[in-house]
Structure 1
Amino acid sequence: MDDRHPALARLDALVGRWTVRPRVEGLGAGWSEFAWVEEGRFLRQVSDADPLPETAPAAWRENNPLPTTGMIGLDDATGGFTMLYADRRGVHRVYQMAFDGRVWTVWREAPGFGQRFTGTLSDDGRTIDGQWEISRDGETWDVDFAITYTREG
């Protein structure tokens, strides 16, 4: 992995296991793990959590996507990333992604259901504070939920 593209090297800051806490009343923590695969050509993200408690909002219990898997790859011509996403509901999505070593953005512009995430890595590399937003019309964005990643270990 020593001769890899510099954009891929920036993703090393994400590698490892994280406790994930969505800031949604009634939801507990989950986890997310980032690991290099295919000799460092792709970064895989796997996320899961314990079963949702009965106190979780009904919409979350009915639409719980966990576990999820994402495969992040680089377009070396543009320096941009693409993430292929799949979850237990059978949902498959393609997201664009950027990470400059501090700010992590993920977005998807799909008719009727756009999504975007922005998270900021702390100076010590131990937390990422962010939020997911949704858009039904491609113009108006609403906060879906805030989320914090905390590095384990």
Structure 2
Amino acid sequence: MTAPVRLEVGDIAPLFTLPDSTGKPVALSEYAGQRVLVYFYPAAMTPGCTKEACDFRDNLAELNEAGVAVIGISPDKPEKLAKFVERDQLNFPLLSDPEKKVLTAYGAYGEKKLYGKVVTGVIRSTFLIDADGRIAAAMYNVRATGHVAKIRRDLSL
């Protein structure tokens, strides 16, 4: 199994500009000077990804109070993301990366085991980027359920 690139604490976060659910470009550079959680998920409106997105939605006020913004990224097109945002009343940007360039740059796309088989796909991952644009935490192969509580506990947010 070929391992994707893995970012580590202290690495400079790869910059990106991707369209959100309305098609508007959103750049990581817009968050310069503040902390941001960037999480990568396989597919909008699937059970695990819905659970994870709603968990971020329900904890967003506390994360924002701790000075942390949230961005979700998947290979879904903006139209599907718009339906996801509307259906689940998501209150943070979801960005579209259909070419998987940003997913790959963060090591969130590549070979993984799924039900015992090796497949190529999105590796559910989350990164805390500090105010200086460096990786403060890199979490790969995270579980959708309980992920936000674990982030808040592990990072004291």
TM-score, length-scaled by structure 1: 0.29
The TM-score normalised by the length of structure 2 is 0.29
Q: Which has the higher helix share?
A: 2
Higher relative contact order (CA 8 A, sep 6+): 2
More strand by share: 1
Larger radius of gyration: 1
